[in-house]
Amino acid sequence: MSVSDGTVIRPYGDTTGDGMVQTSFTLPVPPGPRAEGAALQLANKMGIEPAMVVHSHGIGEQFTFFVVYGSVRHLVDLDAVHVEERAYPLLSPGEVNAAIKTRLRRSLVVLGACIGTDAHTVGIDAILNLKGFAGEKGLEYYREMQVANLGAQVSVPELVHAARARRADAVLVSQVVTQKDAHLRNTRELAGAFREAMGEERPLLVVGGPRFDPAMAAELGVDKVFGRGTTPGEVASYLVAALVPAEEPA
């Protein structure tokens, strides 16, 4: 493996292989030459060498903000990069409806909520509301889906109860607030409560939010985790892949 075969790369400024990066940070030191020296030391320890402090200014008397440019020593090995590729085909709303109608032969029941103290319904609304997100209509638009959005600050027991009462096929939960990892704690609580209350009969559990790592589903005890920028179409396609039989029933 060598740089020339293209699987090992470096950041690109204006010349292949120059390794140039730009970063900014604040240090709790008063502005001045000593502060710039401190910034250079940090940059070097970050692997930026040589580093240039191209800008600094004081924030109040006790802090200094820096913009640093420089070349990193590190190499990126593309062969060692592993990402979760989408394991299901992306379907149009028409295809989603057709799949549910012909292969499930009943409405797909979807329940959505924000749990815990999180009052930010932006995420779940973007996925469920008719209005949708990023130019795609939300799940309410899908004729073959029966969608209920329980809104904000729904308790986990309430959600379990509603899922049972409505015979939900899937429960979608969005989490925006991440202070003190509330999103992770809430998700584990959610998974635990459904496991305890319904065991194997539990609905598909899907969580999403801007600070979730999609690779964490198993660790959190849910079926699927969606990260930043997820669109309603992706969620709908996933629901079909996970819940609708591959073939028409005989």
Partner 1 sequence: MSVLELDGELVRRARELAARAAAPVVDLARTHTTVSVERAVLRLAGLTGTDPVLGDGEVPWVNRVVDAVREQVGLEHGVALPVWHALRDGGDLHGLAEQVGAGTARFSIPADPEPARMAARAAVATGMARIDANRARRDELVALHGDPPRRPWIYLIVATGDIYEDIPQAQAAARAGADVIAVIRSTGQSLLDYVPEGATRTGYAGTYATGENFRLMRAALDEVSAELGRYVRLTNYASGLCMPEIAVLAGLERLDMMLNDAMYGILFRDINPRRTFVDQRFSRMVHARAGIIINTGEDNYLTTADAVDEAHTVTVSQLLNETLAHEAGLADWQLGLGHAFEINPAVPESFRLELAHALLARGLFPDAPLKWMPPTKHMTGDVFGGYLLDGFFNLAGALTGQGILLVGMMTEAVVTPWLSDRDLALRNVRYVLEAAGNLHEDFRPQPGGFIDRRAHTVLTEAVQLLERIADHSQGLIQAIADGTFGITKRSPDGGKGLDGVARLAADAYNPALELLGGVRV
- Asked if 161 touches partner 1 (CB under 8 A), the answer is no
Single residue of 8, 42, 153, 193 touching partner 1 by CB under 8 A: 153
> If we measure between CA atoms, which residue out of 161, 140, 158 comes closest to residue 149?
140
Q: Could you give the CA distance from residue 80 to residue 178 in angstroms, rounded to a whole number? A: 30
- Asked if 60 touches partner 1 (CB under 8 A), the answer is yes
- Asked if 69 touches partner 1 (CB under 8 A), the answer is no
Count of residues touching partner 1 (by CB under 8 A) = 26
User: Based on CB atoms, which residue is closest to partner 1, 76 or 134?
Assistant: 134
Nearest distance in Å: CB 183, partner 1: 11
Nearest distance in Å: CB 177, partner 1: 5
Q: Does residue 197 contact residue 190 with C-beta atoms inside 8 Å?
A: no
- Asked if 118 touches partner 1 (CB under 8 A), the answer is yes
Longest dimension (CA), the chain: 78
Single residue of 12, 26, 32, 167 touching partner 1 by CB under 8 A: 26
- Asked if 131 touches partner 1 (CB under 8 A), the answer is yes
Nearest distance in Å: CB 112, partner 1: 13
User: Based on CB atoms, which residue is closest to partner 1, 65 or 69?
Assistant: 65
- The residue behind tokens 């797909």 is 108
Q: Which amino acid is at 249?
A: P
The region of 86-94, 99-107, 165-173, 175-183 touching partner 1 under the rule CB under 8 A is 175-183
- Asked if 140 touches partner 1 (CB under 8 A), the answer is no
The region of 33-41, 59-67, 88-96, 194-202 touching partner 1 under the rule CB under 8 A is 59-67
Site for partner 1 in 189-228 (CB under 8 A): 210, 228
Single residue of 6, 81, 180, 249 touching partner 1 by CB under 8 A: 180
Among 101, 131, 180, 224, the one annotated catalytic:
131
Q: Does residue 112 contact residue 128 with C-beta atoms inside 8 Å?
A: yes
Catalytic residue list contains 101: no
Cβ atoms within 10 Å, residue 60: 8
Binding region for partner 1 (CB under 8 A): 24-26, 59-60, 63, 65, 117-122, 125, 129, 131, 151-153, 177, 179-180, 182, 210, 228-229
| Residues belonging to the active site | 131
